[in-house]
Amino acid sequence: MGRNMFGPIRGDWPDDQWQGWWGDNPPYHHPVFVLTHHPRESITMEGGTTFHFVTNGIHAAYHQAMEAADGADVRLGGGAATVREYLLAGLVDEMHIAIANVLLGSGEHLLHEINLPALGYHCSASTASATVTHIVISR
């Protein structure tokens, strides 16, 4: 996950007080690798979640996550800038996008200037209801 998804703090970590949005028992229950430019010691939480802070880029985080997964799936948690980086690097095999029927403002555009077909992606599944559309993009 990107640092912005982990928390609202920008720049150097002022202290070790912030431990994520989720409270003492985050929903992950496995190692989580947080991309950042600012080093920080890993944080072990209840339920088996350990946040590891990776300062040497998406490929390093990817390899650490693959090793920790030991053959299981690795999930990319976002945000939008992080997802774009991994898509452009060809490190995403499948992406599930849930689109809610809510207008939120300008925000950060997930697929801005990314040509998914040129990168080898296609829509492999979709389903819609009155409140949400689910799209699966695969390579």
- Which domains, ranges and CATH numbers included, belong to the chain? 1-92 (3.40.430.10), 93-139 (no CATH)
pLDDT of residue 105: 81
Are β-strands 43-44 and 50-54 bridged in parallel, bridged antiparallel, or unpaired?
antiparallel
Cα(10)–Cα(54) distance, integer angstroms: 15
What pTM was estimated for this model as a whole? Answer: 0.89
Q: How far is CA 114 from CA 37, 44, 92, 93, 109, in A?
A: 24, 36, 13, 15, 10
Residues in the chain where the model's pLDDT stays below 50 = none
Taking residue 49's Cβ as centre, other Cβ atoms within 10 Å add up to 19
* Total length of the chain: 139
